[in-house]
Amino acid sequence: MTRRALAIACLLASCAPAVMPRTDPVAASSVKPVARPVESFRLTPDAPFREKEPPAGANIEFHPPAIQSLALKNGIRVWLVERPKPSLASIRVVVSRGAADVDTRPGAIDFLMFAVRFSAAGRSRAEIFGQLSELSTEVTTPDSQDWSEFLLKGPSHALPRTVELMSTLLVKPEFNDHEVERHKSYLSAHVDQEANNAGAVARRSFALATWGPGHPYSQVPVGRPEDIRALTRAEIVRIHADHFAPATTTIVAAGDLRAPDLLPLLESSFGAWKGKAAPRKPIPEPSRELDSAPRIVVINRSGAPQSHLIYGGVGPARAASDWNAAVVLNAVYGGTNSSRLSRSLRNELGFTWSGLSMLLPRRGPSPFYWEGEVAREATAETLREIRRRAKELRELEVPPAELGEVKQRIRLGFPGEFETVEDITERIAALAIYELPMSEYETAQQRIDAVTAADVKRAAAAYLDPARTRAVIVGDWEVLKTSLKSLGWGPIELRDATGKITGRE
């Protein structure tokens, strides 16, 4: 080995890690713990103030916001609620016409309200949405059986431009052929897809079975695919002219707004609008011939592990004198997570997690039903339990303690209904939609307080009558057949996903 190689070898050897000496195992520590180990579960130490539950606080006095009632020169009503902070605004242009007013062409109003946002006064889709994006403003166009509306929400400083755009969309829609065909393709595909949605299928058949063919409420607002495909531009233009006019329109505004500033702005945007709407047709009661129709309707969905269930019928119109009694009845029956049906079906029996009863306000008789998804094997037992609870309410008065708790929960919910500017305009718009008095919310607490156990029992007798209620089930017919027949409710009607009757057993 050369002298140079030897030097390199010595250098590398000096870089190697040292050999670790052998050591004996570490003995266990004899030091006592300083603190006790933390217990995995420990109750909070008792204290005198926990010996009994605290008394309830004083009743909350609800005072709704003051509404300023104004008008434009062409007769459009303007209702304003001033709320200076934050610097946001919500404006609803409410048209008192909905799907039930154009019942000869189901889906027409829904189509119109969808299409109206995309072209107006020479502005393209891109220009309209570009302006809204620039102004951080959103415009939506919801509709229902009884109303249609333009909802604008955004910063109040952008109102001059956004209100002008909103009026252009409402008053001067173009409905050009290209956009109409585009929307027909989109919406008909959307409705076709609803055949895969058990809830949408159930609600469509429930409307048909409850109201009967030909009734204004018998079709859901989106209509049927064949109706949408048959729509023409000329028909849409005619429907707009017949139903959208100053006399059918109310503008509801809330937020960082002042009447001296808002009224001239609305006058310049909507004041030149002219037109006369066609007379509005009354909404009839469902035909009594339906009382002899089958109590159970089934739409087969083979292999479904659960059933989508709707059980109910009709309740009072929103403006009816017994509306508040029906509201309290709904809260006792199944309208909240602490209602009777919620406690029994979910907490005690474990049949469902999400089922609730609903009383949906309408200008005519309102839908009143329980809806939820239940375990397939528990479908018949769920129906039996719903009927049992309905029978209780028809025959026995609600105990005073339960009635008081329910009414208190309703009262405590009033402030939350006016929390945001969007909430405020929604609540005030209901006054126009259902032709309610301006004092409706001022007296709401007193009217709920005045509901008695006898009132609730009368409402239950009227609206939970088994002769006028029915069950609609989307589920596996072969699995459900035996248990549903064992209920003894009479013949069972079979329908397809479009609501068409296909048989009876």
Q: 500, 505, 474, 477: which is closest to 489 by C-alpha?
A: 505
359 SS3 class: strand
Do the domain assignments include residue 453? yes
Higher pLDDT, 106 or 238: 238
pLDDT tens sequence across 110-157: 889 888 888 777 777 788 888 888 878 887 888 799 999 999 999 999
Q: How many CB atoms lie within 10 A of CB 84?
A: 10
Strand partners for 79? 69, 252
Domain that holds residue 379: 288-504
State the average pLDDT over residues 462-471.
96
pLDDT tens sequence across 227-281: 888 999 999 999 999 999 999 999 999 999 999 999 999 999 999 999 899 888 8
Looking at the structure, tell me whether residues 264 and 305 fall in a common domain: no
Looking at the structure, tell me whether residues 253 and 386 fall in a common domain: no
Q: Work out the percent of the chain whose per-residue pLDDT is above 70.
A: 91
Distances (CA, A) of 329 to 358, 389, 392, 460: 11, 12, 12, 7
Looking at the structure, tell me whether residues 239 and 317 fall in a common domain: no
Looking at the structure, tell me whether residues 164 and 198 fall in a common domain: yes
Looking at the structure, tell me whether residues 434 and 307 fall in a common domain: yes
Do the domain assignments include residue 218? yes
Do the domain assignments include residue 108? yes
Q: What is the CATH classification number for the domain harbouring 256?
A: 3.30.830.10
Looking at the structure, tell me whether residues 159 and 107 fall in a common domain: yes
Predicted TM-score (pTM) of this structure: 0.86
Does the pLDDT of residue 9 top 70, yes or no? no
Confidence of residue 17 (pLDDT cuts 50, 70, 90): low
Do the domain assignments include residue 143? yes
Token code pair at residue 241: 């002219």
Looking at the structure, tell me whether residues 342 and 490 fall in a common domain: yes
pLDDT tens sequence across 278-306: 888 899 999 888 888 999 999 999 999 99
Chain centroid to Cα 316, Å, comes to 19
Looking at the structure, tell me whether residues 85 and 232 fall in a common domain: yes
Token code pair at residue 489: 């409710």
The count of domains in the chain is 2
Per-residue model confidence (pLDDT) at position 26 = 47
Measured CA to CA, the distance from residue 374 to residue 304 in angstroms comes to 11
Per-residue model confidence (pLDDT) at position 463 = 98
Do the domain assignments include residue 361? yes
Measured CA to CA, the distance from residue 455 to residue 440 in angstroms comes to 20
Looking at the structure, tell me whether residues 266 and 293 fall in a common domain: no
88 SS3 class: strand
Place of tokens 């242009």: 93
Looking at the structure, tell me whether residues 242 and 359 fall in a common domain: no
Looking at the structure, tell me whether residues 327 and 234 fall in a common domain: no
Looking at the structure, tell me whether residues 250 and 309 fall in a common domain: no
